[in-house]
Amino acid sequence: MSSSVSLRVRLPVLVLVLEVVILALFAVFVTYDDNANAKLQNNQTNPMDNSLYRDYPYFADVQVMIFVGFGCLLAFFRYYGFSGMVFNFLTATFSIQWAILMQGFFQFYIDGKIHLGVINLLNAEFACAVVLISFGAVIGKTSPVQLLVMALLEVPIFAVTEWAVLKYIRINDAGGSILIHLFACYFGLGVTFVLYRPCLNKGHPKETTSYQSDILCVLGTLFLWVFWPSFNSALTIKGDDQHRAILHTFIGLSSSTMTAFALSAVFNKRGKLTMADVQNVTLAGGVTVGASVDMMISPAAAYALGIMGCTACFFGYRYLTPFMARRLRIQDQCGIHNLHGLTGLISSTAGICAILLATEETYGPSMYQIFSHRAPPEGDPKLLELQKLIPGLKPGLGRTAQEQALYQVAAIFATIAASTVGGLITGLVMNLSCMASPPDEGCFDDEIFFDVPSNFERLDDSKITINYEENEKEKISYDTKLAELSQRGSYSK
C-alpha cells in the first residue's frame, strides 16, 4: 500500500510544475487593475471610492466560507478529519490561483494583460467553490494529487463555460445556480462515475462519523449559513439589487432550515433528528433562491423556494443517492446532486418564471438594468429615454421575456452538457495509475496521507477485510444494508 500512495515525489513534482507555470504566467500576463495601480492616482481620485471598499467585505466573507466553512463541513468523517479539512485548504488555494489566470484570460484581459483587483479574486473564489463542491462527490477516495489534477482541469473548463454562457447565451444568474451549482454538481458526478469503486456501495467500515466530527461539521454548516447571503449577493448590481439578494438568501435559508428539521424527525424511525440532515439539508435554501436572488420575486416566494428546495434535497438524499450509487454507478459521497443539483434545477426554473413574470410595473425602469439583455439595443430611441431615468444604463439586446427564458433554458442544458463531459474526461485523467489513488481499504482514512498523532483511532485492518468478505458473500442482504445505511444518514452524508 505504502509506495503506491506515497506523496513524496508525485505531490512535490506536481506542485513545483504548477508553481513555475503560474509564476511565469503571472510575470508575463498579470498587472494591476486600475484601482490597484498607483500610477493612475491623481487629484481626481477619492481613495474611498476605490472598488476595494465595495468588493473586499464580500470577498472576506466568501473566504471564510471557502476555507473555514467548507473546511469544517468536509471534516465530517471520523477517521478523515485531517484530510477533509486540509485537502480542502490545498485544493482551494490552488483553485483560486489558477482561476485568477483562467478567468483572467477570459474576463479581465485588456491589451494583453490580466488586470488584477479584488474583483478578480472574488470571481476566482466562485470558481474555487465550484471545485470544492465537485470535491464533495469524491471525498474519501481521492489523493491530494488527484484533487489538484481535478482543479487543474475543472477550473479552465469552468472558465470557458462561464465565459461562453455569459458572453454568447447571456443569462441572469446572480446567485450562480446554473453556472456554479449545476456545473459543479454534474462535473463532480462525471468524475465520480469514472472513479466508481464497487466496494464502496456496500458501506465502508470507516465511512462513519464521530461525536466530535459531527460537531465540527455543524460548525462548518453554520459558517456557510451565516455568510451565504454574501455569497449570493457578491456579484449582483450594487444598491437595491444586492439588498434583495441578501434578504432572499436569508429567507430561503431560514425556511429551508425549519423544513429540514421537520423532515428529519418525521422520516426517522425513532422520531429523532439525524445530524446529516442538519449539516446538509438546512443549506438547500441558499442554492434554491440563487437564480432569482436579485429579482422582485417577493419575500414570500423566497420562503416558498426554501421549503421546496429543502424538500427535494431531503428526498434526494434518502432515495436518489442510494439509487444512483447502485444502479447508475454514480457514488455521490456528500450528496452534491441533492444539495446543488436538484436545488439548482429548481432554482433555475424559478429564475425562468421570475423572468417571464417581470414587468416594468413591478421593477420600474430599472428592470432593464437587472435583466440587462432585455434593454433596448444601441440606437433604439427607448434606450435614450431609459438612460434619462437610469443613468449609465447599458444598451442590451432587446430580448423579450420569452426569448430570455429560452436562453436560460439553453444555458442550463449547455452547462450540464459541458460539465458532464468535462467531468468524465477529468475522471479519466484522475484514474491514471500515477495519481496515488488510495486503495479501497485506505479510503476515508487519514493515515494514508498524514502522520497522525498517537491518539488517532484505528480500525483493525483484519476486521475490515472480514467485513469486506462478508459483504461479498452476502450479496442478498445488499439492498437492505444500503437502505439501512441511508436511514442512519451515514452513507448519504
Q: Which is nearer to its own copies, 39 or 475 (CB)?
A: 39
Minimum CB–partner distance for residue 287 and its own copies (Å): 17
Instruction: Give the burial class of 453: count Cβ atoms within 10 A of its Cβ; 0-12 exposed, 13-18 middle, 19 or more buried.
Output: exposed
Q: What are phi and psi of 377, to 5 degrees?
A: -75, 165
Q: Which is nearer to its own copies, 139 or 189 (CB)?
A: 139
Minimum CB–partner distance for residue 413 and its own copies (Å): 29
Minimum CB–partner distance for residue 74 and its own copies (Å): 12
Handedness of CA 48, 111, 369, 177 (dihedral sign): negative
Minimum CB–partner distance for residue 424 and its own copies (Å): 27
Minimum CB–partner distance for residue 300 and its own copies (Å): 4
Cβ-based neighbours of 208, under 8 Å, separated by 6 or more = 77, 78, 490
Minimum CB–partner distance for residue 391 and its own copies (Å): 5
CB 419 within 8 A of CB 188: no
Can you tell me the distance from the alpha carbon of 32 to that of 49, in angstroms, rounded to the nearest whole number? 17
Handedness of CA 82, 196, 151, 183 (dihedral sign): negative
Side-chain half-sphere CA neighbours of 259 within 13 A: 25
Minimum CB–partner distance for residue 319 and its own copies (Å): 18
How many residues can be counted in the chain? 493
Q: Which is nearer to its own copies, 282 or 333 (CB)?
A: 282
Q: Which is nearer to its own copies, 381 or 391 (CB)?
A: 391
**How many other CB atoms sit within 10 Å of the CB of residue 179?**
25
Can you tell me the distance from the alpha carbon of 357 to that of 239, in angstroms, rounded to the nearest whole number? 22
Residue 219, C-alpha cell as written in the block: 460548525
Minimum CB–partner distance for residue 282 and its own copies (Å): 8
Distance of CA 447 to the CA centre of its chain: 27
CB 79 within 8 A of CB 459: yes
Residue 142 Ramachandran class (φ > 0 left, ψ -120 to 50 alpha, else beta): beta
Cβ-based neighbours of 92, under 8 Å, separated by 6 or more = 66, 67, 70, 128, 131, 132
Minimum CB–partner distance for residue 32 and its own copies (Å): 7
Minimum CB–partner distance for residue 400 and its own copies (Å): 19
CB 231 within 8 A of CB 62: yes
Can you tell me the distance from the alpha carbon of 425 to that of 431, in angstroms, rounded to the nearest whole number? 10
Instruction: Give the burial class of 444: count Cβ atoms within 10 A of its Cβ; 0-12 exposed, 13-18 middle, 19 or more buried.
Output: buried
CB 71 within 8 A of CB 135: no
Eight-state DSSP code of residue 268: S
Q: Which is nearer to its own copies, 51 or 194 (CB)?
A: 51
Cβ-based neighbours of 71, under 8 Å, separated by 6 or more = 84, 85, 88, 89, 220
Q: How far, CA to CA in Å, does 302 sit from each of 102, 238, 261, 368, 424?
A: 34, 20, 18, 22, 34
Minimum CB–partner distance for residue 429 and its own copies (Å): 20
Minimum CB–partner distance for residue 140 and its own copies (Å): 16
**How many other CB atoms sit within 10 Å of the CB of residue 210?**
14
Minimum CB–partner distance for residue 215 and its own copies (Å): 5
Q: Which is nearer to its own copies, 12 or 198 (CB)?
A: 12
